[in-house]
A and B are shown apart, each in its own frame.
Chain A
């Protein structure tokens, strides 16, 4: 057994013990100790992942399309174990302060451990059976955790939708993997496998148009589970996508690359656009997950396209760009969901227009949340910018190196990703302002207290990689490039010093911004007149009249009215010519809901009503079914149809 395997096994043991402890004892101390053990286990898994990446090569069984159970690890699993460690450790630390105040904390703690174990098991699965087993566990366990923590109808219907869509879509995973076992990649089956895997993994990753469950299910979970679902689970779905589409089916065909780019782009633009029109923080964050999954998928698609265009080096860089964005998004999305959980606990609600001024009241939580927002908005010098820069460069090289059609696709993708970055900046500036700045807009918000120390520690722990990965992405990039299916090498410098770019010395830029801004602050001096109210044409600035999320997104809504097609409802009640009340509501429905899901639900219910007639509850009917089945099978065996 290699040291890396031993560390990973110790980590898994930590998760098992950490889950068993709160299951065995009702004591509050057992819950805390269990979560600490789990955090330790997750951290060990992360360390094990680093060890595997450092050692290179495979330990345990090699990956194969067999049905005989086998476990093992290779560098790609190692990277995802690192992501698991990076996100789950702080999330569990956070849960240590967060869970005791919620519903059914023990059940949720146990299920959290089971969830992480199924994720780790999925990463270690080397054969189809084990993979599918852990895959199903990964889908079902968070649903159980949500139902344990929340009893309301909203959560129930969200979970039902989540299970429904991910199972229907997840059939694609089964089809793809079983087809791999039966026929192996290549030929017509290769196409079938590629499409089925795209549907299966795409659903779970939240790729448009199969994403309808994600913005409903992620927000209803307890904060640390929302964080793990958005930060980690969708990434593991992308892991499956990479395994099947880019590894088993290697070399992936050009059409697959273009499809991935197209789906990715649609998800990126659609995700951020719908994030912008949300009024609730966690729902907004869930939509932004769709956006970032889209960016990663588009980069993976670019990698395939570049490989077919005979550019192995840029293909590897595009692949690494996708992975780096995946790691970055895992970090800051986990941070943001944890922050949202802390705000919810402190203020009792996450309606974006009913928060405000939290940076002053909760400096630690607010500060970490601010770093996460600036990182996800893709601003230098944080990590989001580094990976988006790489993705932009990948798209540009698709446009530079391809034939005319591919070149155009690359150009469209480049413009789309640039616009996505602009939309994300708009979206998260507004979130920053609405939650952290300005005056509090509810009495509870004004009374908000800083979160407990484990919660703060979890969030600060996540803010650190946002900064570090932004300063020295170039130290991580060569590792990621090595994971790519096509060969390529990049120099290991702190910044991103790539051929055919002007190079991005991230650390130097960061230092220069801080230094120059610092000098300018010093030059400005301290001479200030007495504070005066802000200028609003002589009116006073009152919290009730302050700007809303909808107000800030209004120019964009007006520009994109034809795309978003909001449904508005305005009711004015009048009494004797005097307006006594105005009720206004507007909603932007997802196109997939409007055109697909609503019809699918109607027909599905009709179908269910029909099927229910078969279930009479009468024993004799069931006996007749059994008899018919046996007779049918016998007949089939007789005719030789069953072999």
Chain B
């Protein structure tokens, strides 16, 4: 069973780019454009893979190491996060906070690359990313706490197991957790209203900013990592916060459906909602923290109201 789980997890490497591709395609339809095919990210990755890299003058090791380190962090994160409540025998544990650490490492690697190039736009994006990240990390920690309450553990497999079935849905704490985590998904994937992934105007970019100086295979790694972040967050949402059957096949089907539904939801949100002012985003995430704390309170008060 664990071998199958390992294969399914590894499949995430290949499937991930489909998520942002689908979002872009759906968004184009909703905006009345023909838009690109959902497979467009794959084409872009292939094109980038055949190009040579360009290196800014004076850049050194942090610049060169950032893309492989970021991609490696996301690959390990995919190994840690169980699919449909099962995880392969990778020997890396499946702890929720280990995941937070890996995402933080990826973020800092990008920010250090920005400092290495010295480009103002890259630094602007990195500074904003790290500023929003500290609010997002607090919210993510609270959402994970809420998901850990029924299992009494931060083991992602156990957390996913305790969310199986429908009993959990009578807990108000779970609803608060879902809302809090939804905000984390938007922030971590860099989608509107937090960030606009379509913009290539230097002054408004957050996540795209530090990518400006990259080309070729480096850029391919970074773009794949951005796609993997979508996959990872939606997979976590499906595993920890949505009702799913305890059986592997059932849960797998549901996870696939949930990721697809998540992609649709992100596309709708991005069509309906304009980008927020960057400085307003922490208020939004702070509101999420309050909701999560309310969830903790209802759990402490005895669960079902």
Residues of B within 8 A of A513 (CB): 69, 72-73, 76, 105
In the bound complex, do residue A516 and residue B72 qualify as a contact, i.e. CB atoms below 8 Å apart? yes
The complex places the Cα of A524 from the Cα of B73 at a distance, in Å, of: 16
Among the 9-residue stretches A330-338, A344-352, A504-512, A596-604, the one with 4 or more Cβ atoms under 8 Å from chain B is A504-512
Residues of A within 8 A of B279 (CB): 555, 558-559
Q: For the complex, is B91 an interface residue (Cβ under 8 Å from A)?
A: yes
In the bound complex, do residue A517 and residue B95 qualify as a contact, i.e. CB atoms below 8 Å apart? no
In the bound complex, do residue A503 and residue B95 qualify as a contact, i.e. CB atoms below 8 Å apart? yes
Q: For the complex, is B197 an interface residue (Cβ under 8 Å from A)?
A: no
Residues of A within 8 A of B246 (CB): none
In the bound complex, do residue B92 and residue A512 qualify as a contact, i.e. CB atoms below 8 Å apart? yes
Given the known inter-chain contacts A393-B154, A423-B134, A534-B57, please indicate yes or no for A411 contacting B75, CB distance below 8 A. Answer: no
Query: When each residue 116-141 of chain B gets 1 if its CB lies under 8 Å from chain A and 0 otherwise, what string results?
Result: 11111111001110110111111111
Among the 9-residue stretches A12-20, A293-301, A545-553, the one with 4 or more Cβ atoms under 8 Å from chain B is A545-553
- Smallest CB–CB gap between B80 and chain A, Å? 8
The complex places the Cα of A546 from the Cα of B58 at a distance, in Å, of: 13
Partner of B221, one of A411, A415, A520: A520
In the bound complex, do residue A400 and residue B127 qualify as a contact, i.e. CB atoms below 8 Å apart? no
In the bound complex, do residue A380 and residue B217 qualify as a contact, i.e. CB atoms below 8 Å apart? no
Residues of A within 8 A of B131 (CB): 426, 555-556, 559
The complex places the Cα of A512 from the Cα of B72 at a distance, in Å, of: 8
Q: For the complex, is A399 an interface residue (Cβ under 8 Å from B)?
A: yes
Residues of A within 8 A of B104 (CB): 378-380, 421-422, 425
Given the known inter-chain contacts A380-B105, A528-B54, A535-B121, please indicate yes or no for A422 contacting B138, CB distance below 8 A. Answer: yes
Of all chain B residues, which has the CB nearest A516?
A: B72
Partner of A433, one of B69, B75, B115, B216: B115
The complex places the Cα of A556 from the Cα of B127 at a distance, in Å, of: 8
Given the known inter-chain contacts A400-B149, A502-B95, A502-B153, please indicate yes or no for A534 contacting B117, CB distance below 8 A. Answer: yes
The complex places the Cα of A488 from the Cα of B202 at a distance, in Å, of: 54
Interface residues on B, range: 35 or more
Q: For the complex, is A181 an interface residue (Cβ under 8 Å from B)?
A: no
- Smallest CB–CB gap between B296 and chain A, Å? 4
Given the known inter-chain contacts A389-B98, A528-B53, A535-B121, please indicate yes or no for A359 contacting B60, CB distance below 8 A. Answer: yes
Given the known inter-chain contacts A389-B101, A559-B131, please indicate yes or no for A377 contacting B120, CB distance below 8 A. Answer: no
Residues of B within 8 A of A411 (CB): 142, 145, 292-293, 296
In the bound complex, do residue B127 and residue A552 qualify as a contact, i.e. CB atoms below 8 Å apart? yes
In the bound complex, do residue A551 and residue B127 qualify as a contact, i.e. CB atoms below 8 Å apart? yes
The complex places the Cα of A416 from the Cα of B215 at a distance, in Å, of: 38
Q: For the complex, is B255 an interface residue (Cβ under 8 Å from A)?
A: no
Q: For the complex, is B71 an interface residue (Cβ under 8 Å from A)?
A: yes
Partner of B153, one of A415, A432, A500: A500
Query: When each residue 56-93 of chain B gets 1 if its CB lies under 8 Å from chain A and 0 otherwise, what string results?
Result: 11111110010111011101100110000000001111
Q: For the complex, is A455 an interface residue (Cβ under 8 Å from B)?
A: no
- Smallest CB–CB gap between A331 and chain B, Å? 19
In the bound complex, do residue B68 and residue A418 qualify as a contact, i.e. CB atoms below 8 Å apart? no
Q: For the complex, is B212 an interface residue (Cβ under 8 Å from A)?
A: yes
In the bound complex, do residue A552 and residue B93 qualify as a contact, i.e. CB atoms below 8 Å apart? no
Main secondary structure of the interface of B (DSSP, over half): helix
Residues of A within 8 A of B72 (CB): 512-513, 516-517, 520
Of all chain B residues, which has the CB nearest A509?
A: B92
- Smallest CB–CB gap between B67 and chain A, Å? 8
- Smallest CB–CB gap between A386 and chain B, Å? 9
- Smallest CB–CB gap between A112 and chain B, Å? 35
Residues of B within 8 A of A402 (CB): 300
Q: For the complex, is A575 an interface residue (Cβ under 8 Å from B)?
A: no
In the bound complex, do residue B120 and residue A536 qualify as a contact, i.e. CB atoms below 8 Å apart? yes
Interface residues on A, range: 35 or more
Residues of A within 8 A of B115 (CB): 429-430, 432-434, 437-438, 547
Q: For the complex, is B155 an interface residue (Cβ under 8 Å from A)?
A: yes
Of all chain B residues, which has the CB nearest A360?
A: B60
In the bound complex, do residue A439 and residue B135 qualify as a contact, i.e. CB atoms below 8 Å apart? no
In the bound complex, do residue B75 and residue A495 qualify as a contact, i.e. CB atoms below 8 Å apart? no
- Smallest CB–CB gap between A471 and chain B, Å? 14
Partner of A437, one of B56, B68, B116: B116
Q: For the complex, is B157 an interface residue (Cβ under 8 Å from A)?
A: yes
Partner of A532, one of B56, B62, B65, B69: B56
Residues of B within 8 A of A512 (CB): 72, 76, 79, 90, 92
Given the known inter-chain contacts A423-B134, A437-B116, A521-B68, please indicate yes or no for A389 contacting B217, CB distance below 8 A. Answer: no
Residues of B within 8 A of A495 (CB): 93
The complex places the Cα of A412 from the Cα of B120 at a distance, in Å, of: 35
Q: For the complex, is B96 an interface residue (Cβ under 8 Å from A)?
A: yes
Q: Which of A491-507 contact B (CB under 8 A)?
A: 495, 497, 499-505
The complex places the Cα of A430 from the Cα of B108 at a distance, in Å, of: 10
Partner of A534, one of B213, B289, B299, B301: B213
Of all chain A residues, which has the CB nearest B151?
A: A500
Residues of A within 8 A of B297 (CB): 404, 407-408
The complex places the Cα of A396 from the Cα of B120 at a distance, in Å, of: 39
In the bound complex, do residue A527 and residue B216 qualify as a contact, i.e. CB atoms below 8 Å apart? yes
- Smallest CB–CB gap between B225 and chain A, Å? 10
The complex places the Cα of A419 from the Cα of B142 at a distance, in Å, of: 11
Of all chain B residues, which has the CB nearest A545?
A: B120
Given the known inter-chain contacts A429-B108, A502-B96, please indicate yes or no for A399 contacting B296, CB distance below 8 A. Answer: yes
- Smallest CB–CB gap between B163 and chain A, Å? 15
Q: For the complex, is A525 an interface residue (Cβ under 8 Å from B)?
A: yes
In the bound complex, do residue A501 and residue B137 qualify as a contact, i.e. CB atoms below 8 Å apart? no
- Smallest CB–CB gap between B215 and chain A, Å? 8
Q: Which of B136-166 contact A (CB under 8 A)?
A: 136-142, 145, 148-149, 152-158
Residues of B within 8 A of A534 (CB): 56-57, 59, 117-119, 122, 213
Q: For the complex, is B55 an interface residue (Cβ under 8 Å from A)?
A: yes
Of all chain B residues, which has the CB nearest A556?
A: B131
In the bound complex, do residue B145 and residue A399 qualify as a contact, i.e. CB atoms below 8 Å apart? yes
Given the known inter-chain contacts A393-B97, A533-B57, please indicate yes or no for A414 contacting B112, CB distance below 8 A. Answer: no
- Smallest CB–CB gap between B302 and chain A, Å? 9
Q: For the complex, is A392 an interface residue (Cβ under 8 Å from B)?
A: yes
Q: For the complex, is A67 an interface residue (Cβ under 8 Å from B)?
A: no
The complex places the Cα of A429 from the Cα of B125 at a distance, in Å, of: 14
In the bound complex, do residue B94 and residue A546 qualify as a contact, i.e. CB atoms below 8 Å apart? no
- Smallest CB–CB gap between B217 and chain A, Å? 5
Q: For the complex, is A541 an interface residue (Cβ under 8 Å from B)?
A: yes
Q: For the complex, is A531 an interface residue (Cβ under 8 Å from B)?
A: yes
- Smallest CB–CB gap between A545 and chain B, Å? 8
Q: For the complex, is B273 an interface residue (Cβ under 8 Å from A)?
A: no
The complex places the Cα of A499 from the Cα of B155 at a distance, in Å, of: 9
User: Which residue of A416, A439, A535 has the most chain B CB atoms within 10 A of its CB atom?
Assistant: A535
In the bound complex, do residue A403 and residue B300 qualify as a contact, i.e. CB atoms below 8 Å apart? yes
The complex places the Cα of A432 from the Cα of B116 at a distance, in Å, of: 10
Q: For the complex, is A582 an interface residue (Cβ under 8 Å from B)?
A: no
Q: For the complex, is A554 an interface residue (Cβ under 8 Å from B)?
A: yes
6 more A-B contacts (CB under 8 A) besides A400-B145, A407-B297, A537-B202? A380-B102, A501-B97, A502-B98, A546-B118, A546-B120, A552-B123
Name B's A-contacting residues (CB within 8 A). Answer: 52-62, 65, 67-69, 71-73, 75-76, 79-80, 90-98, 100-102, 104-105, 107-108, 111-112, 114-123, 126-128, 130-131, 133-142, 145, 148-149, 152-158, 202, 212-213, 215-218, 221, 278-279, 282, 289, 292-293, 296-297, 299-301
